[in-house]
Every structure is written in structure tokens, then in C-alpha cells.
Structure 1
Amino acid sequence: MDKPVCFIDTDSAGKLRVQQSALKILEQIQQPVVVVAVVGLYRTGKSHLMNRLAGKQTGFALGSTTESKTKGIWMWCVSHPTKAGTTLVLLDTEGLGDVDKGDPKHDTNIFSLAVLLSSTLVYNSRGTIDNKAVMDLQYVTELSECIKVKSSDEDADDSSEFVKFFPSFIWALRDFTLELKIDGKDVPEDEYLEFALKLKPGTSRSVIEYNFPRECIQKFFPSRKCFTFPFPTAPENMSRLGSLASADISSEFLKVTDHFCKFVFHDSCVKRLKVGHTVTGRVLGHLAKTYVDTISSGAVPCLENAVIAMATIENKAAVKEGLQVYQSEMEKLKDSFPLELKDVFSEHQHLSSTATQAFMKRSFKDTDGKYLKSLEEKIIKLFDEHLCQNEHASKKRCEEILSSLSAPMMVKLKKGFYAKPGGYDLFCKDLEDIVNKYNSQAKKEVKAEEILEEFLKQKSVDSKAILQADKKLTEKEKKIKGKNFKDMNRVMQQPKKFKTQL
């Protein structure tokens, strides 16, 4: 992709929807994906950070006013710079806290989708991590109400279940001007984050309210990282940050940005489901569609249900894919029909194995083997069809061989060549010659015996007729010869009789 596209937006009724054009892009990505989503208050420079991750200066829209520029969730798929065979999917989300949105649940839904879809979640904010900054991340406290792990109401979702599929967490602090010190001592950024998330002792209402969002962040995101970015440039240049040359941007800002990008590239993992299944671009599209449709219907997104829905889609596609592998290669084999049965069966076994491998590569959670069995049944059906086609081709070839070999005999039959004494023996000799030549030429044909049997059955009619004619002609010939012999004998006796009379 040379530029981002809208992934999720709202329709005229204000309901979330997934853009089909984005789904088509994801459908083509069969590689594992690393999904990095950025969330945060509007007008805090999220888009600029995502452009840097994409290795571009521009791409995601940068606003220059107090109005939120990004609407919904935008997506940019690029080749991963350090992980070969992997696609980096960047999700730039609509700024949170925009008072003009109207629907208070909209921000929560956007945040929930970012959590559900990403393998790394970047929370972008300005200034320091004070209590207000933590409270601005109120959406974390609502996650257990907005996301379910299991479909069963009896099994309560707890933080331990969420952790199994929640993304790693990065807090990106923009325009940070303070020194990283705690109690007068220099500390690294991560320690600064942990200090800001430290719980207060006590059980008063104010302490509980103070601790609650911090407890949620700690429980839901056990893997945490912090980066502090200084001002990127002078205030008067901020409105054209996307077009500034590197020389006009703070070297310290570029240094931190480079460190941030390298960390994301190296440490952000491939997106996986709770069951450990690797997410590809295609699967990510299925998940997004399932989650968004669920939210739009007013229900709570459930990971277990999403996995089941995705498994159904993927397994059906896996059956289709495996069958296509088998069918396409068998169609090529069909061009060589007729073949010996052992050759067809051998190729069937090879292609069945290849088709099963293609199925297994794409299938997901086919624990009871339902879809594998479906594939096997479809393959057997196709195999039977190809066997019939091979038999038909074999039958045709055998008939052609016999037609060619028996052509001279047919000419003799029409001319009445065999209609003479001894004709039957001549016919049998010619027929035997045809059979011998046929057996030699058609010995590997699956229909050789059957077609020969039909041919001999047809010729048995001619054989009987020729035999009967032969018998009659031979008998007649004998009678004629007998009569001729008597006549000759009588003639021979005439001189003797004449002499006696003399």
C-alpha cells in the first residue's frame, strides 16, 4: 500500500462499519501480521508518529486545527522492515475526547477495537503522566464491560483471561519538557511510568478512585513501555510538521522517534489469538468484521464467539482451497486420459495428500475433524467422477482400436467372403488375429476386457451365421461331389456294358 485507507468508519446512522475496500486488501495478505494501533486524545500528534513507523513523512492525515482530523480507524499495510515474511499493519484511530462526536460510547468502542485488533497498543498523550493523564485513559477501566473473553455468562472474565490476548502497551508522552527524576534521582522512562502507576495505600473512596485506573492498566497490560518525546519543532512550525525537512525538526525528537520505531519493529509480536493461532491479514479482516458487526448490533464483542465465527469462515475456505488444489491438478491429469487404473490411483493419493496439506495450512480449530472429513468426502466424489471419465476415455480408445483392426473383416463380411465351404475356419482365423492384436494394443486399458467381450458378443452372431452357411455349403458340396462321382462311375461302366452286349 502506498497510502493509508479508511478501515472502520460510521454510517449515516452513526453505527460503525468496516470498509469493504480495506477488507479486500487484508484478504490478499496471507502473511502473519504485526498490528500496531495508536490511540489517544485528539490533536496530540498520533498520525505523525504512525507515519514514522511506516517510514514515510506523510501518509496518515495531519491536522493543523483544533478539529480532530482522523475519523474512525485508518489502516496502512507495509512490509515489515525487520521481520521477513511479515506485514506491518498500522492503525491510526480517531482522536478520543472530541466533544463534537455526540455519542459518548463512540470513543469507548474505538478504544476497544484498537485493543482487540492490535498486538501493540500505543497510547499517545501530551505533557506528563499525572493523575489527569491517567484518568484520561478511563477507557481501560471499561474494558471488562466492553469486551468478553468467553461466551458463557457463568464464567466471569477476569484480568488473567484478558492478558492472554491483550496487546503490549506503549505510553508515548509528547511534548515532554520535564527532567526524568524521582526523589531527585535520574530514572529511565519505564521507571517513570511505573512510578506514575504506583498505587496508594488506603481504602477511602478517593484512594479507590485514584487506584482503580492504575490497577486496570497494570492488570490488563503487564507488558508496558514508555517513551518521552520533546517538542519536535518550534511552535510556529507545528502546523506544517508533515512537510518539514529533518533539519527543521529537533534532533532529540528524531533520536527518540528512531528509538521508538526500532523498539516497535523489534519487540512488537505477530498478532495471535487466545488459542495461539497466528493472525494473517485475511484473519484480521474477519476479526474486524465480526467485532464491528457485534458492536453495531448493540452486543458486547466476545473473543470466543469471534474465534468461532472466524474458524467457520476459515475452515470453509480451507475446504474450498484444498479441493481447488486437488481439482486443478486432476483436470491436468484428465488431458492424459485414458490411463491405467494404478496411475490414476497413485496420482489421486498424491493430490489428496497435497490438498490435505493446503487445508491444514489454513484450517483453524477443526477439533472434531468436521471440515477435514468434508474435504475428504468431496475429494472422493471428484475421484469417482474422474474414474468415470477415465473409463469413458478408455472405452472410446478400445472401440477405436477394435474398429480399426476389424475393418478388413467387415469388408470381407459385406462381400460375402466367408460364404463358402471352409469360410468358418477363415472367419475364426481372422477373428483370432484381431483379438491377438487388440490384446497387444489395449492390454493397459481399464475397459479392454469389457469392450472385447462386447465385440465378441456382436461377432458371435456373424460366427453362427457363417458356421451354419459353411455346414450347408459343405454338405451341398459333398452331395454334388457324390452325385458327380456316381455319374462318372456310371459313365465308366458304359463301355463294359457295351462290350457285354457285343
Structure 2
Amino acid sequence: MEAPMCLIENSPGQPLQINAQALGILQRIHQPVVVVAIVGLYRTGKSYLMNRLAGRGTRGFSLGATVQANTKGIWMWCLPHPLRADHVLVLLDTEGLGDVEKSNTDNDSWIFALSVLLSSTFVYNSMGTINHYALEQMHFVTELSQHIKMKASDKESHDLASAFPAFVWTVRDFTLQLCLEDGTPITEDQYLERALERRPEAPESQDLPKRCIRELFPWRKCFVFDRPASRQDLQRLEELPESQLSQEFLEQAHRFCRHIQESAKAKTIQGGRLVNGTLLASLVESYVGAIRNKEVPCIENAVLALAQLENVAAVREAVQRYDKMEELMRPMLPTEDVASLLVAHSCCEEEALRVFMGRAFRDEGQHFQKQLADQLQAKLGELCRRNEGASLDRCQAVLMELYQEVEDNIVRGHYLQPGGYQRFLRDRQSVVEWFHQAEDKGLMAAKALQDFLASKEEAAQSILQADQTLQEKEKELEVEKARAEAAQREAQLQREMQERAEQMAREKERSFEEHKKQLMAKMEQERRTLLAEQERLLQQRLQEQRRLQEEGFHREVSRLQGEIQGLRHQIQNQRSCRGKICTIS
């Protein structure tokens, strides 16, 4: 995108609306997305900071220079990630919160909630210092549990922290010294954590935002910024060259941008599934649709809806990959035996499965994988029929060419002479021998020969009966001999068909094992991802428990203990289910 575009419109007196053009841009992005959203009170310099992050200086998101908020709704800017060639950086700039001139201030909470739901890194921007006033303005974070649900069945939302983005608090025009009262230097992160320290005697207006930030955003970071220029120059910040900006500010902005570029993770959903632009677009539709219907956006419902769409697409893409590979095999047809065909099919199937596994997720009961297995079995049946058809066509063409001279002799009456039947048998045997020597007949050669000879049997019997050199008894013996030879060929054909059926049965078993193997590998990968997230959250919760103990919040320590025990139980379950798998039938 050459410039930002409004993604979610917040028009006066209207519900939130999605810009179809911006949504279409997202839908065409198939790489993983790193989504960075910034929120904060209006006129705090959010857009300027995002433009720095975009690497476009001051050009991009509209800055404005008055006390009125300039950005409306949520604006989006999709850019190549500066450090990850296979990722896209999606920047979301939001309208300023708390603008008293807005006609619909209720949407502030929804803008805040959507920024949390859509981002992988959530930046809150404020001015001055993190003091009582700044925390009071963070009342939006205290409302998140009312505006976001983890599960549809929950009356109250739990486990939101596991689905929430990393939290970065940026403090603009920071004027304090980063040190303790005794002069000991502290880091920006330590400054944030000290500001979030809770005191039992503190009023709820100060304590509740601290508690919500600590509970909902376990992974936090802080950056402070000097004023970028003099107050007078701030009015024309878009026009100022970097040489006229504060050197301290430039260094601080560089550190912030480097952190986002190096550390901000790609957007994921439950189970560690990477989100690309297409999935992000679906999340936008799901969450905004819920808000427009006056419902609380539900993370689980959105994920299940995504899983349905993705799994349908995964089956379709896997079958398309199979078809594309199978097309490359067609010049090989017909194969001389079914084993060669099954080897080729198994290669196509393994590749199709890899495509499916790469896109599918939350396939409860392997419903969609079973659909794929059924379709691939049907594809194998089609491939076998195509192979048999190609073999029959080839054999029939060879037989007709080889038999043409015999056919001409029959028409000319060459065999309707004394001893003609024996000459016919010799000529026919020569045709059979030449047919056996012909190449590229395929696996239906025996069937084609049997059917061909059967189709010529009436003519053979006519020649036999017309041969005056043979007695009736001899003719009867020749008839029996012909029947015996036909029966022998039929028995051989049945043996080949039986062997082919056994090979197909073994192929079905091999296919089942391949599906099982790839499913187990996928489940193991998902299990490890989930286990790592759970262990990371457990360590954070243990740290928070110790901190609450030190701060004297004993009742909350007990409540948190229940959550910690639940996490430990989940981790133990994940460790014990290694290697277990649902049966695919």
C-alpha cells in the first residue's frame, strides 16, 4: 500500500462499518501478518509514531495540527516487513479516544476492544507521565471484559490474557528522570512496573486499571520519548526535517521502531495458528459484525468460523494440488502394473496432505481430513479407471493393427480351403505372440487380449466347421481345446485381478497410515506450541502471584492460585497426551 486507508469507519450517528476496498487488500495477503495497533487519547501523537514505524518519516497517517481528533475509525497500512521477507507489517492507527466533540463516544470502547482483538502488539500512547490521571484515562482497559468474551458460554470472560497481544506503553513528552528517589537509575520497563504497583488502600479508580493491565496483558514493555521539537514547531511537524528534531527523540524513536521490527510477533490465534491477511480480514468481519448486531465479540466463535472457512479451503487446495501433480503423470499412462500407479498416487497424496495440514486447523474429529481422504480415494479410483482405459485403448489399437492381415484373409476366403483352420490358428498365434512383444500395453493387456479373441471366436468356429479335412470328432476336439485355452486365459486374468485387488487393499492401508502419520506430526507440533504458551503464561502468573503477595493482596493471591492450578493441570494434560491421536476411519 502506498498510503494508509480506512479499514473500519466510525461515521457520525452510524454503527461501525468495514471499508470493502481495505478488506479486499487484506484478503489478498497470504503471508503471515505482524499487526501493530496504537490507541490513546486524541492529540497525543499516535499517527506520527506509526509513520516513524512505517519508515516514511512524517508522511502517511494524517497528523493534524489542531485540538480536534483527525483520524476517524481505524486506519490500516500494509507494508513489507523490514526484517522478515515472508511477513507483512500491518499498522492500525485509531482515532483519538475521549474526544468530547464526537457524536458517538460509545464507539471509543469498541475501537479500543477491536484494536486489542486484531493486533499482535498493542501500543497505548499517552502524554507526560504514567500518573494517577493517565491511569484514570485507561478506564477502557477496565471495560475489556465487558466488550470481549473468550467463549460463547461464558457469562464472564476468563483466560483473555492467553489471547491478548503484547502491550507497549509509549509515553510522549516525558519530562521526568528515570531514577529512584535515591538517584538509582531504572529502565523504562521498571518505570512502568513501578507505576503499576498496587496498594490495598488505593481508590478503585486508580487500582482497577492497574489490576486489569497486569491481568490482561502479562507481557509488557515501556518506551518514553522527549518532546520531538519546540511547541511552535510541533504545529508543522510534518514539514520538519530530522535535522530540526530533538536528537534524544530520534534515538528513542529508533529504539521503539527497532523493538517492534525485531520483537513484535506475527498475529496468532488459539493453538498458535499464524494469521495471514486473509484470516485477519475474516476476523475483522466477525468482530465488527458482532458489534453491529449489538453482541459481545467472542474469540472462540471467531476462531471456529475461521476454522470452518480455512478447513474447507484446505480440502479444496489439497485436491487442486493433487490434480496438478496428477496431470504431470498422464503422459506416463498406461502403466505396466498397478504398483507403479500406486507409487505415483502416493506421491501426489503425500503432497496434497502437506498442503492440507499446512492450512487446516481446529479440525475437530478430523472431519475435514476424512473428507479429503474420501476425495483422494475417489481420485485414485478415477486414476485407475483412466489408466485402465488408456491401456485398453492402446491394446485394442495394437491388436487391430496386428490382426488386420488375418481379417483380410478371412474376407478373401483364404481360410475356407482344406487345412484352412490350421493356417488360421497359426496366423492367430502369430498375432498373439507379436502382441505379447509389443511395448507400453499397460496392465490391461490380458483383459484386452481375452476380450479380443472372444470377439473373434465366432469367425474361428465358422472356419473350423468349413474345413473339409477335419472329421466331426476332430472338430469337437478343436472346440474343446479352444474352450480350454479360453478358460486358461480367464483363470490367469482372474489371478491378475485378485492380485490387483490385494494391492489396492494394501494401498488403502498405506493411505490410512500416511494420514495418521501426518496428523500425528501436526498434532504434536500444535501440542508443543500450546504447551510453550501455557508454560509461559504460568511463569507470568507465578510472578504476578509473588508480586501480589508482596503488595498485600492476599485474597487475590488465593484467587490466582486457582488459575495457576488450572494452568498446571492443562500443562500436565498436554504432556500426557503426547502421541495420542483420534482414530481416522
Q: What is the TM-score when the length of structure 1 is the normalising length?
A: 0.87
Asked whether the equivalents of residues 6 and 75 of structure 2 are also in contact (C-alpha less than 8 Å), the reply is yes
1:401 aligns with 2:398: yes
Q: 1:124 to 1:403 in 2, by over 3 A?
A: same
Asked whether the equivalents of residues 173 and 229 of structure 1 are also in contact (C-alpha less than 8 Å), the reply is yes
| 1:199 counterpart residue number | 198
Q: 1:12 to 1:328 in 2, by over 3 A?
A: farther
Larger CA deviation: 85-94 vs 423-432: 85-94
Offset of residue 330 of structure 1: 0.9
1:445 aligns with 2:446: no
| 2:349 counterpart residue number | 352
Alignment partner for residue 171 of structure 2, among 165, 170, 173? 173
Larger CA deviation: 348-357 vs 183-192: 183-192
| 1:35 counterpart residue number | 35
The residue identity in structure 2 corresponding to 1:292 is V
Distance (whole Å) between structure 2 residues aligned to residue 149 and residue 323 of structure 1: 34
Distance (whole Å) between structure 2 residues aligned to residue 118 and residue 380 of structure 1: 41
1:330 aligns with 2:330: no
Offset of residue 131 of structure 1: 1.9
- Secondary structure in 2 matching 1:21: helix
The residue identity in structure 2 corresponding to 1:280 is N
Larger CA deviation: 4-13 vs 372-381: 4-13
Distance (whole Å) between structure 1 residues aligned to residue 459 and residue 200 of structure 2: 112
Offset of residue 91 of structure 1: 1.2
The equivalences for 1:28-427 within 5 A come to 28-57=28-57, 58-153=59-154, 156-158=156-158, 161-183=159-181, 185=183, 186-202=185-201, 207-340=203-336, 341-427=338-424
Asked whether the equivalents of residues 311 and 368 of structure 2 are also in contact (C-alpha less than 8 Å), the reply is yes
- Secondary structure in 2 matching 1:104: coil
Offset of residue 181 of structure 1: 4.9
Distance (whole Å) between structure 2 residues aligned to residue 416 and residue 474 of structure 1: 21
Distance (whole Å) between structure 2 residues aligned to residue 458 and residue 390 of structure 1: 23
Offset of residue 463 of structure 1: 1.1
Distance (whole Å) between structure 2 residues aligned to residue 94 and residue 153 of structure 1: 30
The residue identity in structure 2 corresponding to 1:285 is A
Q: Deviations over 1:154-182 (max 9, x none)?
A: 6x424xx1211211211111122333455
Asked whether the equivalents of residues 8 and 74 of structure 1 are also in contact (C-alpha less than 8 Å), the reply is yes
| 1:478 counterpart residue number | none
| 2:492 counterpart residue number | none
The equivalences for 1:420-435 within 5 A come to 420-435=417-432
Q: Deviations over 1:385-429 (max 9, x none)?
A: 122122222111111101110111122122111121111111111
| 1:479 counterpart residue number | none
Q: 1:387 to 1:106 in 2, by over 3 A?
A: same
Q: CA RMSD in A?
A: 2.3
Distance (whole Å) between structure 2 residues aligned to residue 464 and residue 442 of structure 1: 30
Distance (whole Å) between structure 2 residues aligned to residue 153 and residue 196 of structure 1: 32
| 1:5 counterpart residue number | 5
| 1:457 counterpart residue number | 454
Larger CA deviation: 437-446 vs 292-301: 437-446
Asked whether the equivalents of residues 13 and 103 of structure 2 are also in contact (C-alpha less than 8 Å), the reply is no
Larger CA deviation: 257-266 vs 134-143: 257-266
Offset of residue 136 of structure 1: 1.4
| Gap regions ≥5 residues in structure 1 | 476-502
The residue identity in structure 2 corresponding to 1:56 is R
Larger CA deviation: 357-366 vs 240-249: 240-249
The residue identity in structure 2 corresponding to 1:19 is N
| 1:498 counterpart residue number | none
Distance (whole Å) between structure 1 residues aligned to residue 12 and residue 389 of structure 2: 60
Distance (whole Å) between structure 2 residues aligned to residue 25 and residue 369 of structure 1: 32
- Secondary structure in 1 matching 2:468: helix
Q: What is the TM-score when the length of structure 2 is the normalising length?
A: 0.76
Asked whether the equivalents of residues 334 and 386 of structure 1 are also in contact (C-alpha less than 8 Å), the reply is no
Asked whether the equivalents of residues 409 and 415 of structure 2 are also in contact (C-alpha less than 8 Å), the reply is yes
Asked whether the equivalents of residues 51 and 60 of structure 1 are also in contact (C-alpha less than 8 Å), the reply is yes
Larger CA deviation: 188-197 vs 358-367: 188-197
Bigger Rg over Cα: 1
| 2:570 counterpart residue number | none
- Secondary structure in 1 matching 2:271: coil
| Gap regions ≥5 residues in structure 2 | 473-585
The residue identity in structure 2 corresponding to 1:167 is P
Asked whether the equivalents of residues 335 and 440 of structure 2 are also in contact (C-alpha less than 8 Å), the reply is no
Q: 1:170 to 1:473 in 2, by over 3 A?
A: closer
Q: 1:132 to 1:470 in 2, by over 3 A?
A: same
The residue identity in structure 1 corresponding to 2:108 is D
